Structures are given as structure tokens and as C-alpha cells.
Structure 1
Amino acid sequence: METPLTPMEYTIATLRKCVFLAGLDESVLAVMASKIEPLLIEAGNTIVTKGETGLTMYIIIAGVAKVHDDGVTLATLKSGDVFGEMAVLDSEVRSASVTTECESLLLCISRDVFYDALSTEPGAFKAVIHSVLQGKRGLISEIKARSLRLLSYQKEMEIGRRIQADFLPKSVPDLEGWEIASCFEAARDVAGDFYDVFRLTSSPHLAIVIGDVCDKGVGAALFMTLFRSLIRASSLYGCIGSTLVDAGSETAANSAEGVLMNSMHTTNRYIATTHAGSSMFASVFFGLLDTQTGEMSYVNAGHEAPIIFRKNGKTEMLAITGGVAGLFPAANFEVETTTLNKGDLIFTYSDGVNEAKNTAGHQFGEERILKAATPDGDDVESFLCSMLNAIHRFRGEADQSDDITMLALKYLELDEAG
């Protein structure tokens, strides 16, 4: 039967397990052990606070603690782990905080106890320095490995960004009597917002699409490409001949409605059934504009209401006509119609505009959108530029929290079209 360790022997054995102290002679560890006692810490106590000057290192005998900074957990420490060891070597402030996750038993070694013990053996300092350097070499190797993984990840993200960019229009159609401009500013390398502007074949109708996939990052970016592709493909190829009847026909409006309904229902059913497990959805505004008459049929599936700035100074909001796309296979979408007159401008945008936040946490909001709008400016490019500048000024030093996507289209008057 093994003889149980005395408290002193147990403390020495615990110190011996610490890589930081592994090179020290038994006599040095004995001196150190004679001057320290285990300390029981309750759960939720912060032992080390970031920014404070450290004088003590700790070894966990039993329990769990987390290393954290600004709400982010950097590491989880368990029995045998050491933290705060650099405090006994220099007088630098703590670089992170450490808090117990449960009741924990620790050994606490102050700088004075540490140096007093080392002074009893001439080779002790050299042994500690050797252990520190070994640890730093291992850390450097780990940093190099992580850096290589990060570079690989960044390369993959850049490839993803380029691929995603190919799914957005490289240019917008040039139509006589109309001005069209777009603005896209991603909050991350890959985005969840999307937009599209394209002509339907053999008809005067122009498709205007803007959407925002829930969530952010790679997942949202993948679904962004899917939503955009489904809407375009079903609009161009989902109906007979992918065309509308002649604009002068009495059934032209019904045909526009048919394209909208077919495209939205096809896209919605595909996402909601094929990718039901992902619970991904998108808000979408989809309009079909007759460029000869200015009449626009549209579906607003849970998206921010586009604003029409009328030539007479009035504004009109194109309200929601249905829920978001992609959640429920049987979702219903209604088609509404409005008419743009010469001199009118329609502005569509994603929630990265109205929900842009400044450092105080306040949102840009609809009121600021209306104040920043310059519908009587030189052109739609200037309109979007003024809006984006206003958002940037409002946000100040705050980080961009969401993608910013904007589309503007103006029905030119004769002198403007000239």
C-alpha cells in the first residue's frame, strides 16, 4: 500500500508538473513549497484582471478557470495549468483576465517567494530562463502554424469574395430615358446582401431586385448567390418564352404579375423545401418596370420599403406585400402596382442603411434617409454618393455592422435625357 503524500510533498509534486518550474532542483522547489499554501476560490471570482500590474502566478490544483478579454473567452484552464507566470519575471500589466468557472483550488506564488527560492541555488535562474525560452519557442511555432492557417483562410475568403462578386451585376443596363445606379459595401469579405438589374427578353420591362439574406458571413453569402440566381433564372426562363406580351396589350400588366408570382413562388418553394434544415430566408423587393410607360408591378417580401421621390416633392413608400422568402413553402405574395412619372426617382436599399449605427448605438433611420436624399441632384450616382457619405459621417468611428446595398433609378425628363 502506497504511503500518502504529505502536504509538503504534494505541493512539491504539483510544482514539479509546472513546465515553468520543471528544471528546478528539488531543494529549490522545497523552499518554494514551504512558503505557499493552497487557496480555495469560489466560482465566478476574477483572480487576474486585465490592465493590473501582476505580482503573483497561479497553478490550478483542481477546478476550471477561463482566460477572457472584452467578453471573449481566449482559453480554458484546468488542473495543472499555470497562469500569470510572467508577472513574477517582470512588472508588465496583465494582458487578459482570468475568472474561475467553478470552485477551484490554486497554488499562489508571489514574486518575492519565487525569487527567494531561486536565490538558494545558483543554477536556478538559468533553469527558469531555459524553461521560459522553450515555452516561447513553442509559442512562436504555434503562432507560425496559426498564421499559415489564417493566410490560407484569408486566401480562401478572397476567392469566395471574387466568386460572389461575379454573381452581382458588373454594370447596370443603359436605357434611354432612364438613369440607374447601384452601390454595394460589404461589412465582411463575403456578404448576405444581393441586388440585380436586368431586362426581360422581348419586352420593355426591367427587373429590379434587392435582397438581404438573414445572418452574415459565409453561410449568408452562399444563400445570397442562390436567391439571386433563382430569381433571375425563374424570371428569364420560368415562363413561356420568358417574355411578356406587347406593352400595348390589355394583358401586359397581368403578364408582369405572372412573372413576379412565378419567380417569387418558385424561389420560395425551392429554398423552403430543399434547404428547410438551414432555416435561411431573405427579404426581397422585386419590381418589374415598364420602361415605356413608367408603370411598375412589384412584390415586397418583408424588405425595407423603397422610397419614390416624386418630382412635386412628395414621397411614396412601397410597403410590404408578403412575408420573407425561404421559410414557408406555401407563403403568399401579393403584387402591387405604382407608376413613375418623368422626374421621379425610386430609391431601394437594405437594412444596412437605415440600421447603420454610430458609436452611441443610435441608428441612421428613415428620417435621416429623407434628409440626406438629394433627388433633384445632377444624377443618380450623385444621389447614392450623397447618401453613402451621410451614412459614413453619421457612423463616425463605429464599425460597419451590416452590408450596405442601394439602388436608385430615375425617369428622366426631356432636358435631362437630351
Structure 2
Amino acid sequence: MNKPYKILVVDDEPDLEPLMLQRMRRHIRAGRYSFVFARNGLEALDRLNEEGNIDMVLSDINMPQMDGLTLLEQIPKVDPNIRSVIISAYGDMKNIRTAMNRGAFDFVTKPVDFKDLQITIERTLAHMMEWREALSYRDKLVSIQNELEVASRIQQSILPSEFPDDLRYQVYGNMEPARDVGGDFFDIMLLDEGQIGLAIADVSDKGVPAALFMMSCRTLLKGVAIGLTDPGAVLGEVNDLLHEDNETMLFVTVLYAVYNPATGEFTYASGGHDAPLLIRSDGTVSLLPLTDGIALGVAPELEYKQHKIELSPGDTVVLYTDGVTEAQNTDGSAFQVDGLHQIFAGSSSYLKAREGTDLVFEKVREFMGEASQFDDITCLTLHRDT
């Protein structure tokens, strides 16, 4: 059962208290109202501080020691969410206007019509509840916004800020977060024998849980990649580690590749992630074959197959998340993989890694127009120079 609304009645007339209790007895018995009484504004302030949880103040204007108009100025200092109703002499518009200017929600006139008073009380309480609900929503929105800001900082903190400087190849990545922080990330790892590891991933869900899961995934991926050379084995090990104690039931799609600049070998494995785009030096564009692995964190002891190709000088590989292919325009149409094909079809071998990544973002934004971005857009491009 809900607690009764607590109403503070402030009036120096001694007969008002028994009369109020008698006329409102049905609502008191029903547990709708409970009443607290004070003889003047000073007593009312004491009651407000002593009682707590006062929902509404019903106050006369003319009282000794502190009048009702002065009391109206003091009430917000105790609790700005309390709603006040003034009892005024009939036709006293000057005091009524002053009371309304000082924060009174409504007024009733003397002699008090208790039926009208009860209607006024209900209207005032309804407004108060709507106000409190609005404040609750505001607090929740502030909390959500704070959470998203934390998640955004986590997300940005793990992205590479510097890229390898090597005459044999170029690599460049970028991530543009959506309004609601998702779980995209990319990473570049310097491995033994001059090889590099390239990872791009998309965590399910949004907010702080996704950001924390993303950080765990990135840390595990980096740690495992140092000790294992095969991308398939790396994904298998990371999957088992993520699945342990995965109380949040989150998962992550990952494409992890190892590039050997000395030979041009590009070996990759996919855990439920989109197929990379290969742009040959002659402008031919194709999707690399998928390796049929499922997202990491779903089930333990999974096997992840890997595939190997050889990049020739001038070739480019583009890794991306579904924020690229599923970006929508104002008509609701998606960019799709065809959009990626069209970006690079006939591209020159002189298209460098940063140019390729920047071109993806440029064309996706151009396609979206005024449409909102609902998912992170992430792209990581590798280009072989020699």
C-alpha cells in the first residue's frame, strides 16, 4: 500500500484543525491523506524540518510571527519540490497575485468550501507527482549521459593514437562513435619478426558494460597475440577467456589478421565479423572469403579457421564494422557492401592507407546525409607499398 500524502496545514484559527480532520476523515481512513498542523509560518518551518516528506503545504496568509507570504519564500529553501496552496480572503487579488509570484501553485478562498478544497488538493498532488516523475526521468537521463561519457572515454582510450612508420606498408584506422556509445574498436600490434597484428571488433550492447567488455577483449587479444602466431588460435584462446565468468552475456565479433611485410602474406581469421575488402593494384575489388567462425564469448572451446592470401605491392585491405555497411540514409536504405565496392572500384595503386580510411568515412557521411548515426563507424586499412 502506498504511503498517504502528507499535508501541512498552517493557520492560526484553532477550530480549523478539528474541522479539517472531520471533513477529510474519509480520505484519512482510506490512507490517502495525513495531516500535520502549525499555527504560523515559524511553526510551519519547524514542522517541515522535523517531519520530512511533506508533500504539500496549505497555508493562510495573515498569521502572527510569520505570515503565509513570507513562508512561501522559505519553503523552497527546505524542499523546492513541495507544492503550496494559499487560503485567501475572497476577492483579495493583491495577496493572491503576490502568493502566486512567490511560488504558490493554487489558492482557495474563505470561507473554505471543503469540496472545492479536496479538488484543489488532488490537482496539486497530481502536479507534484508529475513534477517528481519528470525529475526522476531527468536524473535517469543525467545518469545515462554520465555513463555514456564514461563509456566514450573508455572506448577512445584504447584506440591507437600512433601508427607504424614502415617504408614497406602503411596502416591507418579511425572510429567515429555514435551518439549512444557502442563497442567498436581496432588495434595494431607489433609482433615478432617484424610482423604486425591487425584487429577490428564490435561488441554487442552499448554503454559502460559494453565498453568494459571491449577493454577486456582488447587486453586479452593483445596478450594472447604476443604468444601465438596463428590468428585462428588467437581467436580460440581469447574466446575461451572471454567466455569464463561472462555474467553480462555479452559477445564480440572480431577479425584478427597477421601481416608479414617481408613476404606480403596476410593471414586472417574471423569470429562472426564482416569479410575484409581486398583492392588489388589494378583496381579490382572483392571480398575475402569468410572463415565461418562465430562471435567470441558465446560458447567455449570453439575452433576458428584461418585463411591466407598474398598482397602484392599496391594492394590494399580494408577492415570495417557493420556501422559502415548498415549506415542508413533518410530513406532508410543501407550503405551495404556494394557501397564499399563502389568507393574503391577502379582505384589507383597509389591510394594510401589513410586516404582509403578517410574515403570510407567521407562516402558514408555523404550517403547518410541528414540521417542520424546509430552505430559506431570503424575502418582499418592496410596498404602494401613494396
TM over 0.5: yes
CA displacement at 1:344 relative to structure 2: 1.0
**In structure 1, which of residues 393, 404, 416 is the aligned counterpart of residue 366 of structure 2?**
393
**Which amino acid is the alignment partner of residue 211 of structure 2?**
A
The one-character-per-residue Cα deviations of 1:123-170 (angstroms, maximum 9, x if unpaired) are 987875675455435533443454344324422331232123222222
User: Distance between the aligned counterparts of 1:287 and 1:388, measured in 2?
Assistant: 22
> Does residue 192 of structure 2 align to residue 192 of structure 1?
no
After superposition, the Cα gap between the structure-2 partners of 1:189 and 1:172, relative to the gap in structure 1 and judged at 3 Å, is farther
Question: Distance between the aligned counterparts of 1:213 and 1:220, measured in 2?
Answer: 6
State how far apart, in whole Å, the 1-side matches of 2:248 and 2:144 are. 23
The one-letter amino acid paired with 1:344 is D
Aligned equivalents of 2:114, 2:250: Cα separation in 1: 63
Aligned to 2:170: 179
Q: How many residues align?
A: 279
1:289 aligns with 2:259: yes
Question: Partner amino acid for 2:281?
Answer: K
Query: Which moves more between the two structures, 138-147 or 364-373?
Result: 138-147
Q: Deviations over 1:357-412 (max 9, x none)?
A: 22333221111111123743653323222222222232233322322111111112
Q: Any unmatched runs of 5+ in structure 2?
A: 1-25, 33-111
Map 1:246-325 onto structure 2 (within 5 A): 256-257=229-230, 260-275=231-246, 278-324=248-294, 325=296
What's the CA shift for 1:268?
A: 1.2
Matched with 1:212 is 202
Is the Cα contact below 8 Å between 1:296 and 1:340 reproduced in 2? yes
Question: Structure 1 residues 313 and 157 mapped into 2: Cα distance closer, same or farther (>3 Å)?
Answer: closer
Instruction: Say if 1:274 and 1:143 are closer, same or farther in 2 by CA, change over 3 A.
Output: closer
Counterpart mapping for 1:334-353 below 5 A: 334-353=305-324
* 2: CA distance, partners of 1:361 / 1:153: 27
1:215 offset after TM fit, Å? 3.5
What residue number does 2:213 align with?
A: 223
| Cα pair 2:269 2:304 within 8 Å, conserved | yes
Structure 1 residue 359 corresponds to structure 2 residue 330:
yes
Counterpart among 160, 172, 184 of residue 169 in structure 1: 160
Indicate the residue corresponding to 1:48 in structure 2. Answer: none
SS in 2 for 1:334: coil
Distance across 2 between alignment mates of 1:138 and 1:281:
40
CA distance in 1, matches of 2:251, 2:129: 45
CA distance in 2, matches of 1:403, 1:378: 24
Seen in structure 2, the aligned counterparts of structure 1 residues 141 and 283 have a Cα distance that, compared at 3 Å, is closer
Report the TM-score when normalising by structure 1.
0.59
Q: Answer yes or no: is the 8 Å Cα contact 1:181–1:381 preserved in 2.
A: yes
Amino acid at match of 1:193: D
Aligned to 1:140: 131
Q: Give the conservation status (yes or no) of the 8 Å contact 1:191–1:218.
A: no
The residue aligned with 2:353 is 380
Distance 1:153 1:327, change over 3 A: closer
SS at match of 1:274: coil
Asked if 1:403 corresponds to 2:376, the answer is: yes
Q: Which amino acid aligns with 1:313?
A: G
1:297 counterpart letter in structure 2 = T
Q: Given the two structures, how large is their TM-score scaled by the length of structure 2? A: 0.63
Partner of 2:61: none
1:304 to partner: Cα distance: 0.9
CA contact (8 A) 2:315 2:384 kept: yes
For structure 1, the 5+ residue unaligned runs are 1-12, 20-120, 240-255, 414-418
Which residue identity lines up with residue 267 of structure 2 in the other structure? S
Q: List per-residue Cα deviations over 1:69-113 (Å, max 9, x = no partner).
A: xxxxxxxxxxxxxxxxxxxxxxxxxxxxxxxxxxxxxxxxxxxxx
In the alignment, the residues of structure 2 paired with residue 139 and residue 182 of structure 1 have an alpha-carbon distance, to the nearest angstrom, of 48
| Alignment check: 8 A CA contact 1:192 1:221 kept | yes
Q: Deviation of residue 336 (structure 1)? A: 1.6
Residue in structure 2 matched with residue 89 of structure 1 by the alignment: none
SS state at 2:193 partner: coil
Q: RMSD of the alignment, in Å?
A: 3.1
C-alpha distance in 1 between matches for 2:260 and 2:352: 21
**Distance in 2 (alpha carbons) for counterparts of 1:128 and 1:210:** 62
Alpha-carbon distance in structure 2 between the residues aligned to 1:157 and 1:355: 22
Task: Note closer, same or farther for the CA distance 1:225–1:270 as it changes in structure 2 (3 Å cut).
Answer: same
In 2, Cα distance between equivalents of 1:142 and 1:354 = 40
Contact in 2 for aligned 1:188/1:217 (Cα 8 Å)? no
1:8-62 Cα distance to aligned partner (Å, 9 max, x none): xxxxx99xx9x9xxxxxxxxxxxxxxxxxxxxxxxxxxxxxxxxxxxxxxxxxxx
> Which stretch of structure 1 is more off in the superposition, 168-177 or 372-381?
372-381
The letter for the 2-side match of 1:346 is: V
Shift of 1:207: 0.5
